[in-house]
Each structure stands twice: as structure tokens, then as C-alpha cells.
Structure 1
Amino acid sequence: MRDTIETAFFPVVAIICASGIYGIYNTPISTPDQYRYRFLTEYGIPSPNRTAITFKVRACNDAHVTLRPSDREPLEIVLGGWANSRSCLRTEIQGPCLSEYVGDILDCDDFRTFNVYWGNGRIKVRKSTSFCDAREVILDLRVNNSLPDVEIGISTGYGASGEWIFGADRKLASRNKSIFTPGKYKYQYLGTEGIFDTNVTSICFQVKACREAHVVLEYSDKEPLEIILGGWRNSQSCIRRKANGTCWTEYTGRILDCEDFRKFVISWKFKEIRVGQIVKDESGPTLENILSLELNETINVADIGISTGLGTPGVWIFEVDSQQPNSQHGYTPNYGAILGVTFGILGVVVTVTLGIILWRKFHKVQVKKVDTQIAEETENEVNAYETLQTLGTPEHMYTAPLPQDNSTLDYDYVKII
């Protein structure tokens, strides 16, 4: 029975240990308002043999990360320093900034996601853009040598404490829609296709065309804005107020391909429109801004149209973030997360149930053993009492005669009551 319990107990311990390992990568690590590095190995998070790490941090300002190689002085990354107005990358602790980014990137109330890559003689820090699984490079620095066996330290300070979560990225589910546009300059609208919602402020898509991929942002009360990708024989892109109007901002370079899909992001928030292209390098998908335009008006997009022209057809694939609300479909549930939580709860219930069953079985066996032992002892006492009653009179008490030759007494012939 003991072997059975130990055999059943082992998987229970394994489940608990596995849950603990999972928790390490999902439970926030708190750092106080004290500029002192704490290394991830102290929390059971390995870092050697890695060249990248992704994490989330919630802090008002001054989230610091250090990379400590085995063969050189540690490097330092400052996120949201100087009252959350500037970030920088240093090749030594508190050294001069060799790569800088201006802008606020931290938040006191919300987690912000970052990725740090070190490999091939280069260090890159990227922040998540929250759509299209893309990240924007904010810090980039070339170093002379590779960084072997890097240990990672984290710290907050200068008036801010922080919470950190380390682990793999969870890719957001998306609804994909493929649309073909003929080589005619005529817009097809995403609202008609059921893949646009007026509550969103960005859209991600892929397009395969040789040239002239057009996108129009329709207003409800103003003239539309038109974005041209790969116009003028795939040599120039621009944003303009109306068809055949004057370009307000331009980008020179080939960005479309007749054979391959190219991925783009268009975002409109507050009074700014941005167009970015997602490219992949050794550190992963990176968002590169190619067009940006600030307006004196609030941008309220009512619908989006797409078109190709000048005899060039195109194929478009649109991705809509599942966490963004959609007026027709509601929220698309994250089935992976739901299944994960469900199986986790079922695992706990099964483990507890098996534990209770095994304990009750073991308890019954022990009680049965005790009852059997008590019964045997009671029976022995009764037998002994009956024997005493039977043999208790003097005439039944006898001893064997002692040997006359003083030889050894043979106890087989002696009965003592």
C-alpha cells in the first residue's frame, strides 16, 4: 500500500513542480525604488546560451536592464529614464548613452512589452506595437564582439518601483480575410467585407502586387485620405488628401513585389497617420515607419477601401486583432487561453480527487488492520481466561518430578501454570 501511495504521490509532486516552473515565467517580479540589480537566475529563470529575451514591465519610469557577459563589463539599457522622456543603451553601467530614443514608453498602470536581442555583434531593443505581431526598434548598437553567457539583471529606481513578467510572447489570434483587386482603379471597402470596425485605430495587412496598391481612409464628414504604396512604377509612396492630389508626405524606394506578399501597418490615432512596413531580420519582425503625417483634425475613420490600378491586379490579406472589438462579431475568444485555464482547473480537481480517494483507501486499510488486531487480542484474552477457569483447581496443577541424578532439567516435561 505504501508503494501505491508513493507511486501516486510522484505525479502529484511533478504537477506541482511543473506548475511552479510555469508560475516563475508568469508571476510578476517586483523591484523596489532602489537602483540595485537583481539577476534573473535568482528567480530560477535561466539566461545562458540565449541571445534574446522578451518581457513586460509596469513602472512609471526608469526600468533598467543589464546584460552581463562572461568576458567583459556589463552593458546597461535604460527604459523610460529621465522622467520617462528618454531611453538609452550604454556599454557600461552609468556610462554615456551610445544609442538613444526620445519619447515616453513606460506606463504607471499598464504593462509594456519589450524585446532585447544580442547576437551577431549587435544589440537591439524593440517595443511591441500591439498589432500585427510587430515590434519597433527603439535602440540599436553594434558591438565589436559577441556576448557569451549573458546574465540578465533588472532594476528600478529614481522614484519608481516596478513589476516584471518574463516569458514567451503570446501571439494574438487574428481573423484573416483574403481579397482580390483587379487592375482597375476602383475601391473595394472592408466594411462591406465585414472586416472593419469603426472602433479600431490601426489595421494590418499583406499585399502582393507589382505596383500601385492604394488604400483610402474614408471620413464621415471630410474628404478621404489616400495612401499610395509603390506608386510611380513601385518607386515612390505617399499620403494625399484626394485622388490625383498633391502628396503631403513621401517615401522613395521599392516596397512592393510581384511574387511575394509584403506586410504593412496603417495606424491613425489622435491627429497622426503612420504607415509602416514589417520586415524580418535576425531579431524577428520589425516595424519600419515609411510615412507619417500630422493633421490639425481628429481622425475618425468610417471605412477603408483598397484598390490596385494601372493594369496591375493585387491580392490582399487582412489581419484584425482578436482583442479589438468588432461591431458585427463581438470579441473573438482566445481559445488557447480558455483551454489552458480549463485544463489547469481540471488538473487541480483530478489531483485533489485522487488524493482524497487514495487517502480514504489507505485510512480504511489502516482501520481494518487495527480492528483485526483488536479482535485477535480480544480472542487471545478470552482463550486465556477460559484456560485459567479450566486449569485453575489444585488437582490440575502439577510438575514433573525432578531428576534423581542431578542431570539437566528437561523442560519438555515441565508444565508451569
Structure 2
Amino acid sequence: MANVLDVSTEDNLQYQFFPVSSGSVQFKVRTPNDAHVALTMGPQESDPMYEVFIGGWGNTKSVIRRNRTKPDKVEIETPGIVNGGEFRGFWVRWDGGIISAGREGEAIPFISWSDPEPFPVAFVGVSTGWGATGTWKIEDGAEFDTPDNLQYKFGPVAAGSLEFDFRGPHNCHVCLTSAPAEVDPIYEIILGGWENSQSVIRYCRQKPEKVTVPTPGLMNANDFRKYIVEWRCGRISVRDGKTGQVVMDWVDPSPFPITHFGVRTGWGARGNWRIVHFNKDGIQQPLPPSAPSAAALYAPPPGYPGGAPPAAGGAVWVDACSGQVPPGAVVGGQDCSGEPLYVARAQHEGAMLPGKLAASHQCAYVPWGGVENGKQQYQVLVGGSNNWVPTSGSNIPPGAFPGGESEDGEPLYVGRVRHEGSITTGKVQQTHGVCYIPFAGQELGFPEYEILMA
């Protein structure tokens, strides 16, 4: 039985977002019209973005929209598809660029569209509007099976951990990769292998194993067992989800960015899985408030009296570390792999430098001294307008958002640049006339860039 997350949405078209770690979400909704589902890279309403409107236009039709622009990608007549007096069940899936939605119990979608330029989905949002409020029951950890064929089923990761329940006689296999495929580099975790006698951590499908521990009777064909896999700064840990006891632990001296997980069974075993889609108790747990650290860390330029942190329509800087992404973090761009990059900043050599946060790397990066500097401790921009304006050189438009200062006390602004398939955020230094970005180990300067506005 799947866990259920209860959500209420007001008549305001404001999405409530939750992370996902598989390619689908199942839910029941009670609303007279306009059940809206958003699929995004970050926990806020920002492009790229898919939207599925179920029962829109007075509960007469449904559409799929990309990046909040018209014309809609597909539109169908669905009179009476939702109901304000009873729950109706639906599912939404995204797989290989195909976005589809269907009714509970029906395998064939009632609406679908294939995106020729898909992006990785890490969050789902739900909302209602246009005269409608809604009550939702979003299923968490819906069960699925893996056959006895050693073929991984892949999904995107949304944080530095994966929680799951597994029921099977032996050979519970989990992999962590930088792509939705069985390619190197790859970490593999085998729980209850060798006829349920031992467990291992393997790197790039090579022997000897990095870790081998005896685990007789670890798995059970009749009962679900819960486990948590975590990755932080190259440390791969496997814990018993019930007791918290560490089953295996290994540190990779040269870690790679993890963007996807895979699960499989084999060697005579079939498995039944529940992958936890949402954070603890179905609620994104906010990080502790960053006590007036912003005032201590940031010397505000003129116009920001009292040492208050910079604000852009409610924007604040929130302390985080080791790949943590606070709820509401601003997505400033995306990496070459399609992973979202969040607007971040960190202290370095006496400066407070805007840069980027790549959650799968478990750190933020800031440009300084000609190199890309990784930072385990950083601040993430939360809230604000997320409005970017193209400019060049030393032309800082009025109202640009100050995001830090140089070691000499010069205000630094938040900029971004399109480079080698990425949109990478960094620092704008007016006296230098460029936007510097951290990229592939280097600090790169660009005279043409976009700047974040307050």
C-alpha cells in the first residue's frame, strides 16, 4: 500500500512543489475544474516546465503546455473529467520525452505529447484555480516490479539520497550514475547477493569489490525491507531504513556527479519495490533559518540600510551545505547534463562570490583566481523575481540584484551565460566588464551575459 500525501490547493493557481525520483506520479483529486500538474527541474514555477491541465475551461477540456506559452502542445475534449464532490484518480508520466496523463486503472493515456527537446524532471507541482479549490491525495512510493533479467530501471535523483522498500528473496541491486543508462562511471550496490549471504559496493562494474560485508538473511521474499542510500562528498553509505544502522560505507577519492539511480533484480530473483518520491512525511523539510548570518557575511551596498540581506521581491539567502537545496531555491540555469543549477554564493579569499549550486556534486562552485572553486558551505538564493535581463560589458541596468562583494568591497551582481550546452550562473564585476562563471574547473569571463534583476 502506497503512502499518501494529502494536499489542499487554493483558488490561486499557485503550485505546491515536491521532489520526485521516478518517472511518474499518481494522485486522486477532488475539484470542480482545473486540476493543474507541473513538471519542473526545480522546486518553483520556472522554465523549462511542462504543465498538464485536467478539466480546464469549465471542466470541458484538458491540455499539455510547455514553458507557460501558447499554443498548447495538445488539446482534447474531456467533459466532466473531474468532480468537486468526489475524488477522481489520475497518473502523469514522463519517459523519454513523452509526457502523458491517464485515468486511474487505465493503462492508455487520454492525453500525451512527445517533446523533441526533453529536460530532466525532478519536481512535481499541483495547483487549482479559475474558481476552483482542490483536495489532493498524492501517492508516495507506488509499488512496481523488476523481473529476473538484470536490467536496470532508471529514474532521476532529486537529492543526495534514495529511500526505498524492497521485497524479494535476494539480489536487490541499486546503481547510481550520471546518466539514465548503465554506463561508466557507475556505483553499484548489491544487497543480499550470493543467495542472500553478502552485500557489496562495486565501482564501474570492476572487481575486487570496494566493500564486501556478510549479510545472511538480509532480504525476505515475503516482507518489505527499507533501506536508505546516501551520497555526500564521495561517501556512499547504505543504511537500514528501520534502525538507521550502517550496512556499508565507502569513500570514492574521485567522485562523479550523480543524476540518476537504477534498480533491478536477477540471478533467479524477482523484486517488488516502493521508491519514496517525497521527502520525510511527504513534506519538504525546511533548513534551519540562517540567523543574521547574511548581515555578518555580506556588506550591503548603498540603498540597503541596516545591514539587512539583499532582497528582490522577497528573496533571501539561506545557509546550506553538501548539496542541500532549500525549498524555493532559485533555478538560474542548467548543467550540460540537464541538471538544474541553483543561484548560490560562498565566501572565498575575503570575498562573497555569486556562483552555482549543482546538487549532485554536493557543493557549490564560485569563480575566483582563474579557477572553479568548490565550496561545501554556501548560501542559496530563495524566492524573488527570477527575472534575467541581457546586457554586456560594464552596463549594469538599474535594479540589478547585488549578490555579493569582491575582496576589495566592490559590489558583485548575479549573472549567467550560455556556454557549451549549459546555462551557468556566476558573478558580474562591473569594473572588469564581464560575467565570470565557474565551468569545468576554470573561471571563464564573458562580455555578453544576462543579469538577475531585483
TM-score between both structures, scaled by the size of structure 2: 0.30
* Higher strand proportion (structure 1 or 2): 2
- Rg larger in structure: 1
* Structure number having the greater helix percentage: 1
Query: Which structure carries more relative contact order (alpha carbon 8 Å, separation 6+)?
Result: 1
